């Protein structure tokens, strides 16, 4: 079961820049991103995994192929 993402309900935090959101949206395919790809993105951009979930929600991107349930 997938949960509904409502980006308007996610509070934008100061670290969530337009450039960062744009890069994440570019990395996603059809509004979805794989778990391994999300981990790699978080590592490259120095984002903690718990904050990565917030960024995904803020951008309206769903996580697919989750490996460990970290998000």
pLDDT 10s digits, 4-42: 655 556 788 889 999 999 999 999 999 999 999 999 999
Res 6: pLDDT: 56
The mean pLDDT of 38-53, rounded to a whole number, is 93
- Domain extents for the chain? 16-64
- Cβ–Cβ under 8 Å, residues 53 and 9: no
Helix (H, G, I), strand (E, B) or coil at 62: strand
Token pair in block for residue 60: 């309206």
Q: Residue 1's pLDDT band (boundaries 50, 70, 90)?
A: very low
Nearest to 40 by CA among 54, 30, 22, 28: 28
């Amino acid at each position: 079961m997938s949960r509904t993402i409502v980006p308007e309900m996610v509070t934008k935090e100061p670290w969530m820049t337009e450039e960062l959101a744009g890069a994440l949206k570019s990395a996603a395919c059809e509004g979805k991103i794989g778990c391994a790809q999300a981990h790699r993105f978080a590592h490259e951009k120095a984002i903690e995994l718990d904050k990565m979930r917030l960024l995904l929600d803020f951008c309206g991107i769903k996580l697919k192929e989750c490996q460990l349930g970290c998000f």
